[in-house]
Chains A and B, each alone.
Chain A
């Protein structure tokens, strides 16, 4: 197919930081006020663009943390070598302005009519779009059974822990803490593997739908494991965010 040059169509809009909530030592949730926000679906993301005083621009995609119908919010993990996340996690204050483009992405999206049962698998900050799915499920009164398998380095790194401690009816949260565990921890304490998936994932015969989000190695491992358990590849939705985190 031939190459071409096209002018941009999806436009950048100015967003104002409405609230800053620290989630963990390395993650922050920013509520963003965007005039004429068209609304979003659970699992979508936005692009954030920052412009330096010298005109240099950097942009990154961030999953939307809030449910459809809630104000736009993103949860950002600080990457020490990042161009965007250090500002968003350390510097951003209420009233600051930045540029957003979106919502974007139609693939990693769950809607009530998508069905289930749902298996959600998160590596580190991969929990962000899955949290949007959980909140959306509650808002629409869905009774679709959900299991969230959440892999985190330590208990201190668990994002949304106060919310996940009290899951909605029909939602089970299963943690695995890969690097350090609280004393007397009785949960999983290793990376997600085939045995863990066998114990946690809905049997393939129940026709589950899986959403897997996290670092690339995590996503590859979990998606391969689920296909090995008989999940059709088309029922395993994946979103990878590279080598960092988890």
Chain B
């Protein structure tokens, strides 16, 4: 879990940050539809953003998605073979 912990502990968005486009395939496989145009609301600061614009960090285990405004963790995806575990606890809404 070292990789994931390091990403979760790192509070500064930096040049390693990708965006939601990078996990379009992962999201489509989980949700069954393109989610890059979906709108997420941060549960911490209330910032509203299309998923494509959210900050994304990829690790060997999956992906961590952060708010660009307050850097809170919004979504975590952990892939184990063909099964993806999804944590959307940081989002107030996703639609």
Taking a contact as CB atoms closer than 8 A, the residue among B18, B20, B89 that contacts A216 in the complex is B18
List, in ascending order, chain B residues with CB within 8 A of A8's CB.
29-30, 82-84
A interface footprint on B23-45 (CB within 8 Å = 1, 0 otherwise): 11110111010101100000000
A183 within 8 A of partner (CB): no
List, in ascending order, chain A residues with CB within 8 A of B4's CB.
none
List, in ascending order, chain B residues with CB within 8 A of A4's CB.
85-86
B24 and A242 contact, CB distance less than 8 A:
no
CA distance in complex: A5, B80 (Å): 10
B86 and A107 contact, CB distance less than 8 A:
no
CA distance in complex: A162, B41 (Å): 44
Distance between B20 CB and nearest chain A CB, rounded to angstroms: 7
B21 and A45 contact, CB distance less than 8 A:
yes
List, in ascending order, chain A residues with CB within 8 A of B22's CB.
61, 240-241
User: Quick one: which of A201-246 are within 8 Å of B by CB?
Assistant: 215-217, 237-243
Q: A1-B89, A1-B94 are in contact. Are A243 and B19 (CB under 8 A)?
A: no
The CB with the most chain A CB atoms within 10 A, among B24, B37, B86, is that of B24
Q: A107-B37, A107-B52 are in contact. Are A7 and B82 (CB under 8 A)?
A: yes
Taking a contact as CB atoms closer than 8 A, the residue among A47, A108, A216 that contacts B15 in the complex is A216
Distance between A127 CB and nearest chain B CB, rounded to angstroms: 16
The CB with the most chain A CB atoms within 10 A, among B16, B29, B32, is that of B29
Distance between B81 CB and nearest chain A CB, rounded to angstroms: 9
List, in ascending order, chain A residues with CB within 8 A of B16's CB.
216, 242-243
Q: Give 10 A-B contacts (CB < 8 Å), ordered by A residue.
A: A4-B85, A61-B24, A61-B25, A107-B52, A216-B15, A216-B17, A239-B19, A240-B19, A240-B21, A242-B16
Taking a contact as CB atoms closer than 8 A, the residue among A1, A10, A46 that contacts B88 in the complex is A1
List, in ascending order, chain B residues with CB within 8 A of A9's CB.
28-30, 32
A238 and B19 contact, CB distance less than 8 A:
yes
Distance between A101 CB and nearest chain B CB, rounded to angstroms: 5
Name the residue of chain A whose CB is nearest to the CB of B52: A107
